[in-house]
Amino acid sequence: MSKFLRWVTILFLGFFIYHLIRDILQIFNIRGNIIADLFVTSHYWCRPYCDYITIPPEVIGTVLSLVILKRKKFGLLGIVVLACITFIFIGFLLP
């Protein structure tokens, strides 16, 4: 795996971990800190399930990112991680 793909995978891993922690804080209604309040949008299309919808792709993305880093091969698992990122990004853009 090239250094670029390694750093991209580490960046994705950090994103998945941050997003998972943020969703858990929002589920338990813990507000007022930078983790819970950064990049939060109002999603009318999925209320009240928005925080729960993204948990499976976050867990899958975290596990697969760790597997990619351990195996040192991007391959098909890397494409699945990109699909998870795309799913979360599309949900962020919807009103």
Return the pLDDT at 29.
Answer: 80
Q: 95 pLDDT exceeds 80?
A: no
Report how many helices (DSSP H) and strands (DSSP E) the chain contains, helices first. 5, 0
Cβ contact 12:63 at 8 Å: no
Q: 16 pLDDT exceeds 80?
A: yes
Structural domain including 44 reads 3-93
Mean pLDDT value across residues 65-90: 90
C-alpha distances in Å from residue 56, one per residue of 4, 21, 51, 84: 26, 13, 10, 9
Return the pLDDT at 49.
Answer: 76
Mean pLDDT value across residues 37-46: 65
Q: Angle CA(24)–CA(22)–CA(82) in degrees, nearest 5?
A: 105
Q: What pTM did the predictor assign?
A: 0.81
Mean pLDDT value across residues 52-81: 91
Cβ contact 23:55 at 8 Å: yes
* Domain total in the chain: 1
